[in-house]
Amino acid sequence: MDGGGEIGGFTGKAGGALTDIYASATMILAENNQGCIAGKFNAGATLTTSYASCTSIASLALTGAVCGQDAGTTFTDVFYYNNGAVPAQGDPGIAALASKTAMENQGNYTNFDFTNNWKKPSANPLSPYNPAVLSPVLAWQCGKQGIVCP
């Protein structure tokens, strides 16, 4: 993705309560307020049990692995893969998983519902880093675009 401000892999601008969001993208960050899940969160927004898997080829002040800017957003059990290319996220409730082992360890995703909403794939060719990196996916993604879930 590239272009103007407030651009995200899931939405440009978000408010309210968002849960069980998965975003994967390659971002060409040309302006501020860009992030893998949302470019900007409105004040009071919440984001829970979500995962971002993005790469970026630029780094600006208001860009991030999960969001570009959050005005008082509450994050709970939000994860992203940090391969060093995406700016570190400093918000409480957002955790960077820095290794393949950490991404694949289901124990890191303690509040994710792996019975109904989330699955641990055995193959995920959509990973922007390496198809062998098996981060969680939403259950509806299994069987689509080469994602294989047990």
Lowest average pLDDT, out of 15-24, 62-71, 94-103, goes to 62-71
Name the residue range of residue 16's domain.
7-113
Residue 12, domain member (yes or no): yes
Q: State residue 1's pLDDT score.
A: 41
Residue 76, domain member (yes or no): yes
Residue 46, domain member (yes or no): yes
Residues near 27 by Cβ (< 8 Å), separated by ≥ 6? 1, 2, 7, 9, 34, 36, 54, 55, 56, 57, 63
Q: State residue 93's pLDDT score.
A: 84
Q: State residue 148's pLDDT score.
A: 93
- Would you state the structure tokens that stand for residue 45, as one six-digit string? 């927004």
Residue 141, domain member (yes or no): no
Domains contained in the chain, number: 1
**Structure-model confidence comparison of residues 26 and 144, the more confident one:** 144
- Asked whether the beta carbons of 70 and 32 are under 8 A apart, the reply is no
Residue 147, domain member (yes or no): no
Q: State residue 115's pLDDT score.
A: 93
Q: State residue 2's pLDDT score.
A: 41
**Most confidently modeled range among 19-33, 45-59, 103-117:** 103-117
pLDDT confidence band for 87 (50 / 70 / 90)? low
What does the pLDDT average to over 69-98?
Answer: 76
Q: How far is CA 78 from the centre of its chain?
A: 8
Q: State residue 57's pLDDT score.
A: 55
